[in-house]
A and B are shown apart, each in its own frame.
Chain A
Amino acid sequence: MDQAFEAAIAFAIFVAAFSASQYTAITVYESSLKGLYEPKLESAACIVASEILLQNGKSSEKWSSWEPICQPGNYFSPHSGVELEIKATCYSIDPSGAVTKLWIKHGPPLAPLGRHAQKYVSGAVLDDGTFVRLEVYAKDG
């Protein structure tokens, strides 16, 4: 067989093996990088929830007039590449123990965040005895 032809075959084998190993390595790297970003997203969700709780405190009036804002720049910086979804639910518990849902406020993101979003849940008992459950989802955009 011609030497140049042999070299071409050897090179083709090298390119195929090299591409396969690179593809595998990049896939593994991407999944490990997602693991590195998860704590950041969970922290981002925690920051957003905490700042909303700080803003509104225990005041039922403030919570009634509050509207969720999903721009991360309103809560922390640098915020590039983070998408948020905010959901607040207010419950009333009467003396008999019955739980009534009073209102739900939902700040939807531009696109659905999907199952990779990190979630942080917090809550507060308000001055009128009602309870607000606050859920914040953060995703790398």
Chain B
Amino acid sequence: MDRPVISIILIASLLATGSGFASASAAFWERACAAGVDAVINGIAFEIAAGVAEAAAEAVKGGTAVKLKVILPEEALVVSSGTSLTVFATFNGRLLNASVALVGEIELQPSRVRSSFFTITAFPNGTAKVTAQETAEDLSNPKVWG
């Protein structure tokens, strides 16, 4: 084969290999970014579940209702019922969700709350509920119905 043709084939194959490297790297980083976002949403779900468990343990120990505040970096929808709670949040237009179930004696009252400030109230009978925390703005401008 002619020498210039060999050079062209060699350079073309090197360029193809290089672009292959770059695209494989891009795919890896896309997956890595998704894993990072999943870790964040999982962390939020575990944080709220830990709040519920901690408040319930304190309520049973102290024999009185216990309130605990959880502040999240982003707004999220928390759906809780029975022994499990699910957190929904959007990130870059993607709807993500993560669930945590507590395999114990804690019973969550059914609730569906969208906020970034939550109040977890636990009672001495082992039940707990998740509600939205009133912000300072809500308290200074109370809504009057009817």
* A is bound by B: yes
Chain A residues with CB under 8 Å of chain B are: 2-4, 7-8, 10-11, 14-15, 18, 22, 25, 29, 32-33, 36-37, 39-40, 42-44, 46-47, 49-51, 53-55, 57-58, 73-78, 122, 124
Looking at the assembled complex, report how far the CB atom of B51 sits from the nearest CB atom of chain A, in whole angstroms: 8
Instruction: Check A4 against B11 for contact (C-beta < 8 Å).
Output: yes
Chain A binder among B14-22, B88-96, B109-117, B134-142: B14-22
Q: Given the complex of chains A and B, what is the CA–CA distance between A50 and B61 in angstroms?
A: 10
Q: Is B78 an interface residue (CB 8 A)?
A: no
Total number of B residues with any Cβ neighbor in A under 8 Å: 37
Residue from the list B42, B46, B104 in contact with A51, Cβ < 8 A: B104
The 16 listed contacts between A and B (C-beta, < 8 Å) are: A2-B7, A3-B7, A8-B10, A18-B25, A33-B39, A36-B39, A39-B43, A40-B47, A46-B53, A50-B54, A54-B60, A54-B104, A55-B104, A57-B61, A76-B100, A76-B102
Instruction: Check A74 against B54 for contact (C-beta < 8 Å).
Output: no
Contact flags B7-43 to A (C-beta < 8 A → 1, else 0): 1001100100110011001000100100110011011
Looking at the assembled complex, report how far the CB atom of B36 sits from the nearest CB atom of chain A, in whole angstroms: 6
Main secondary structure on B side of the interface with A: helix
A residues in contact with B61, CB < 8 Å = 53, 57-58, 124
Q: Given the complex of chains A and B, what is the CA–CA distance between A42 and B7 in angstroms?
A: 59
A residues in contact with B60, CB < 8 Å = 53-54, 57
A43-B43, A50-B56 are known contacts. Are A11 and B18 too (CB-CB below 8 A)? yes
Q: Given the complex of chains A and B, what is the CA–CA distance between A33 and B99 in angstroms?
A: 20
Looking at the assembled complex, report how far the CB atom of A22 sits from the nearest CB atom of chain B, in whole angstroms: 6
Q: Given the complex of chains A and B, what is the CA–CA distance between A49 and B53 in angstroms?
A: 9
B residues in contact with A14, CB < 8 Å = 18
Q: Is B1 an interface residue (CB 8 A)?
A: no
Instruction: Check A77 against B39 for contact (C-beta < 8 Å).
Output: no
A residues in contact with B53, CB < 8 Å = 46-47, 50-51, 54
Instruction: Check B49 against A47 for contact (C-beta < 8 Å).
Output: yes
A residues in contact with B103, CB < 8 Å = 51, 73-77
A40-B43, A75-B103 are known contacts. Are A54 and B56 too (CB-CB below 8 A)? yes
A54-B56, A75-B104 are known contacts. Are A39 and B47 too (CB-CB below 8 A)? yes
Looking at the assembled complex, report how far the CB atom of B10 sits from the nearest CB atom of chain A, in whole angstroms: 5
